């Protein structure tokens, strides 16, 4: 099956959302030590249901697992990358899985605009390793590794204002090309990085200004 055919194959949202965790896990295996791995070993190491893992990997694997040997690790990594759309410029991650970050993670409507939020990062142990709408929240320290691994181009900032520049710098170091910033801060970025600031307060101020002008006219 070529990459285009693979991308057309139906795959559930939950399966897609588990792929970054599989990819991270497989990339950290020592390929000198072993070249293949079984679905049951992956399920046990990631604390997932074995049947679920088998189904997930069957949906993406171009070769399928061999009965005794399992999956060729290198091929499986390439298959998962292809499924995640490694060259897709619209793959994004979130920094700050708090109230706003979680709301964005839970909103499925972005996919209609081609934006795929694949994972999130946070510094709070209470949310790290939790999944939100089946998307994993990773420790912020993992950002460079995961962004490079998934070839992420867009970083979404939903941390408190005081940490926004720090997180922005971490995104830039992680190879991000564009930033969607929800924190009320003007970010310093290298010239080639695009920043889109989002501020609901500004929209509300415009709305209230229009309303006051309209009401004055009606007086
Ligand atoms: N643009 C808008 O219209 C709009 C609307 C609401 C909130 N906001 C902004 O969004 C941001 C988040 O708001 P919230 O209400 O979700 O806050 P929150 O406190 O619920 O969430 C912030 C999250 O960021 C995490 N965090 C803090 N420092 C971090 C760091 N260095 N690295 C990684 N994670 C870190 C926290 O652990 C927390 O989970 C704020 O800057 C807020 O001003 C913007």
pLDDT for res 2: 46
Nearest 5°: phi and psi at 188?
A: -90, 120
Residue 155 annotated as lining a ligand binding site? no
User: Which protein residue has the closest C-alpha to ligand 1 atom 5?
Assistant: 200
pLDDT for res 99: 97
Burial 159-182 (b: 16+ CB within 10 A, else e): beeebbbebbebbbebebebbbbb
CA 203 to ligand 1: nearest atom = 3
Residue 101 annotated as lining a ligand binding site? yes
How are the residues of the chain apportioned to helix, strand and coil, as percentages rounded to the nearest 5?
50, 15, 35
CA of 122 to the centre of ligand 1 (A): 10
CA of 108 to the centre of ligand 1 (A): 20
Residues touching ligand 1 (Cβ under 6 Å) are: 95-101, 121-124, 127, 140, 158-161, 163, 166-167, 182-184, 198-200
Q: Going from the N-terminus, what domains does the chain have, and what CATH number goes with each? A: 3-83 (1.10.10.10), 91-203 (3.40.50.720)
pLDDT for res 4: 44
CA of 98 to the centre of ligand 1 (A): 6
Q: Give average pLDDT by consecutive 10-residue segment, the chain, 219 residues.
A: 48 80 90 89 93 92 77 92 80 97 94 86 97 94 94 96 98 96 96 92 84 83
Choosing from 158, 161, 201 the residue with most ligand 1 atoms within 8 A of its CB, the one to mutate for a pocket test is 158
What would you measure as the largest C-alpha separation in the chain, in angstroms? 82
CA 163 to ligand 1: nearest atom = 31
Residue 55 annotated as lining a ligand binding site? no
Angle at 88 between CA 84 and CA 96, to 5 degrees: 75
pLDDT for res 216: 83
Token pair 């946070």 is found at 122
Residues 101-110: contacts with CB within 8 Å, 24+ apart?
Answer: 101/156, 101/158, 102/132, 104/156, 104/158, 105/132, 105/133, 105/135, 106/132, 106/133, 108/13, 108/133
CA of 28 to the centre of ligand 1 (A): 30
In 3D, which of 115, 137, 111, 128 has the Cα closest to residue 21? 137
Nearest 5°: phi and psi at 14?
A: -65, -40
In 3D, which of 38, 150, 30 has the Cα closest to residue 93? 150
Burial 113-150 (b: 16+ CB within 10 A, else e): eebbbbbbbbbeeebbeeebbebbbbebebbeebbebb
pLDDT in tens, 18-70: 888 899 899 989 888 889 999 999 999 999 999 999 999 998 888 777 767 78
pLDDT for res 7: 47
pLDDT for res 204: 86
CA of 18 to the centre of ligand 1 (A): 24
Rg (CA), the chain: 20
Distance from first CA to last CA of the chain, Å, rounded?
Answer: 69
Query: In Å, how far are 122, 145, 187 from 172, measured between CA atoms?
Result: 17, 13, 11
């Amino acid at each position: 099956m070529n990459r285009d055919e693979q991308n057309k194959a139906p795959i559930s949202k939950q399966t897609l959302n588990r792929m970054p965790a599989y990819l991270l896990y497989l990339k950290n295996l020592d390929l000198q030590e072993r070249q293949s791995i079984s679905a049951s070993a992956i399920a046990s190491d990631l604390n997932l249901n074995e049947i679920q893992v088998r189904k997930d990997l069957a949906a993406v694997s171009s070769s399928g697992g061999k009965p005794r040997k399992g999956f060729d690790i290198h091929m499986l990594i390439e298959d998962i990358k292809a499924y995640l759309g490694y060259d897709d410029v619209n793959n994004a991650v979130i920094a700050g899985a708090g109230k706003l970050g979680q709301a964005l993670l839970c909103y499925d409507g972005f996919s209609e605009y081609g934006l795929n939020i694949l994972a999130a990062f946070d510094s709070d142990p209470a949310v790290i390793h939790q999944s939100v709408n089946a998307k994993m929240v990773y420790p912020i320290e993992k950002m460079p590794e995961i962004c490079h691994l998934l070839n992420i181009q867009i970083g979404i900032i939903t941390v408190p204002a005081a940490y926004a520049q720090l997180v922005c710098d971490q995104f830039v170091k992680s190879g991000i090309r564009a930033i969607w910033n929800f924190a009320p801060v003007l970010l310093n970025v290298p010239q080639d990085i695009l920043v889109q600031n989002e501020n609901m307060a500004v929209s509300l101020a415009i709305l209230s200004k229009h309303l006051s002008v309209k009401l004055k006219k009606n007086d």
